[in-house]
Amino acid sequence: MIRTLALISTVTLSLTLSSAFAGEIFMSHKITTDSYKKDKKDGETEVRTSKQWFAGDKLRSDNGDESVLMLLDKDSIYNIDHKKKTYFGYQASTLGMPVETEAGGEQMPAMLSSMMGNMFKMEVTIEPTNETKKIGQWNCTKYNQTLKMMNVTTNTELWATEEVSIDKNLLDKFMASQFMTKSGMQDLAGKMLKEAEKIKGCVVYSKSVTTMGNKRTETIDEVTEIKEQAAPQETWAVPAKYKMKKPE
């Protein structure tokens, strides 16, 4: 649960083409997660790298064993699990509707869908502040985000800059796709996207704190590199041997 909330709270940390670049763009994030009990007597630290490629109306994000592949020219979004060698897809224009349906597949009953939605009932707010500072090479403004789900609260400070241009359509679709990883969460995308409209520019740094019971998790997500670099040829396709599945 904490990992899911941390993912949602930092998913806005994505850049698209800067005016300084004309071709495909590679970007790297450093994500540091500290998990420990409130008394700090027991804890662990995880450091991982998230990699992204941007090319016109295409986006690929790799995070550990999972990837998100967006092909807006084909109106498609795919969530890929490399460990299980599976994937599932959605139409980008109607988030939550499968790109393909398996033979004999059935839609989730309305009552069950409603129950799942209530289980994952979420509240999210983003508030602008007047606080500013320079992070890396960018002049940034601070935003405070509060996310509540299943009696768990995540507070996140977001630092955004207007010095990097953003393809809002691509970025918004990427944000919404994070809600497609679990059944019943699809309708939450609109809430996050509506609040994200308050952010001017692009988030280049975030720090989130999640508390659940006696466990506290802090996650820092920061952009470490952005450069013009052609993506590998296989970047823009789901591996041929992977099997399609339904979201769990």
Segments making up each domain of the chain, as ranges: 2-244
Q: What is the pLDDT of residue 23?
A: 66
Q: What is the pLDDT of residue 172?
A: 61
Which tokens sit at 98? 């499968």
* Bridge pairing between strands 243-244 and 86-91: parallel
Compute the distance between CA of residue 156 and CA of residue 46 in angstroms, rounded to an integer: 18
Q: What is the pLDDT of residues 45-64, one digit of tens each?
A: 899 999 988 888 888 999 99
Compute the distance between CA of residue 35 and CA of residue 42 in angstroms, rounded to an integer: 9
DSSP bridge partners of 98: 90
Those residues whose C-beta lies under 8 Å from the C-beta of residue 242, and which sit 6 or more positions away, are 80, 85, 86, 87
Which among 84, 91, 191 is positioned nearest to 146, based on CA atoms? 191
For range 232-245, the mean pLDDT: 93
Q: What is the pLDDT of residue 170?
A: 67
Q: What is the pLDDT of residue 187?
A: 57
Compute the distance between CA of residue 87 and CA of residue 240 in angstroms, rounded to an integer: 11
Q: What is the pLDDT of residue 114?
A: 52
